[in-house]
Amino acid sequence: MRMQLSFSLKKAQLPVDYRASCVSFMKNALCSYNKKFFELYYNNGAKIKSFSFSLRLPKPEFKKNEILLAGDKIEFNWSALDERDALIFYNAFLGKKNKAFELGDNNAMMLNNLVILPEHKITQSQIVIKLLSPFVVRIHDKTNNTNRYVKCSDADFPEKAKEAVAAQISMLELNTALIKGFRIENIQTKNCIVKTFHHTVDGTIGVLRLQGQPQLLDILYKAGIGANRSIGFGLFEKVY
């Protein structure tokens, strides 16, 4: 399920780390709806999250600690693979309609509208996609507990991107045979550097071509692609 939440802001600006604010909003919505669902998704031992999201901002101007916007309306796009997840969050979000959510710095956002969006069923083995939030390819080294973020300009990006998708499928406890034949190709991409949860992350934005089993492509379309999906990365739309 895909949905779009339309918010109005008290002030036409957001903190640079606006993804943390979005996650706080989701947690608050779940707590208000039913605390058992907050515990299901966010307490220790929480289930693997099958969703991703992106935020559409009106002509953002990035400053050191804030993002200045051309207007006070923002769109929050949210998608989930698991229909149960989607229904739980939909009901939680609905309970926050027309209620101010404080962002700090004398700012707040209010949910004005919530709609379910049309969703494609991916049936072909090749699609061209446009990333709505950055695609993060993270390689974790257990020996020294460090992360390498693979850039789209790196020579091993296609290989490491496939490994990231394979890890994602494994974490979602899906059939790892789905990864057979998967390929990813840059069409028009660029690297972006994002501050999120007090960390700096390299990601990829732009247009990619994905090739693979239709079931896998459909999963990625609904759940998002890559690492950090549930904190605002990896959501894409199908171009063709």
Convert the pLDDT of each residue in 119-142 to its tens digit.
Answer: 989 999 999 999 999 999 998 888
Same domain assignment for residues 110 and 137: no
Q: Which of 98, 117, 136 is the last residue of a domain?
A: 117
Length of the chain: 240
Mean pLDDT of the chain: 96
b/e string for 46-82 if b means 16 or more Cβ within 10 A?
Answer: eeebbbbbbbebeebeeeeebbebeeeebebbbbbbb
Q: Which of 91, 117, 143 is the last residue of a domain?
A: 117
Determine how β-strand 61-62 pairs with β-strand 100-104: unpaired
Considering only CA atoms, which of 229, 238, 18, 22 is closest in space to residue 137? 229
Distance CA 149, CA 168 (A): 16
Decide if 29 contacts 118 (C-beta within 8 A).
no
b/e string for 24-40 if b means 16 or more Cβ within 10 A?
Answer: ebbebbbeebeeebbee
CATH number of the domain to which 160 belongs? 3.30.70.1900
How many domains does the chain fold into?
2
Sequence-distant (6+) residues with CB within 8 A of 1 are 79, 80, 83, 86, 87, 90, 116, 119, 222
Provide the 3-class DSSP secondary structure of residue 15. Answer: strand
Task: List the structure tokens of 132.
Answer: 């709505």
54: containing domain: 2-117
Q: From first to last of its 240 residues, what are the pLDDT tens digits of the chain?
A: 999 999 999 999 999 999 999 999 999 999 999 999 999 999 877 788 999 999 999 999 999 889 999 999 999 999 999 999 999 999 999 999 999 999 999 999 999 999 999 998 999 999 999 999 999 999 888 889 888 999 999 999 999 999 999 999 999 999 999 999 999 999 999 999 999 998 899 999 999 999 999 999 999 999 999 999 999 999 999 999
pTM metric for this prediction? 0.95
Distance CA 214, CA 196 (A): 32
Same domain assignment for residues 138 and 108: no
Q: Which of 117, 149, 170 is the last residue of a domain?
A: 117
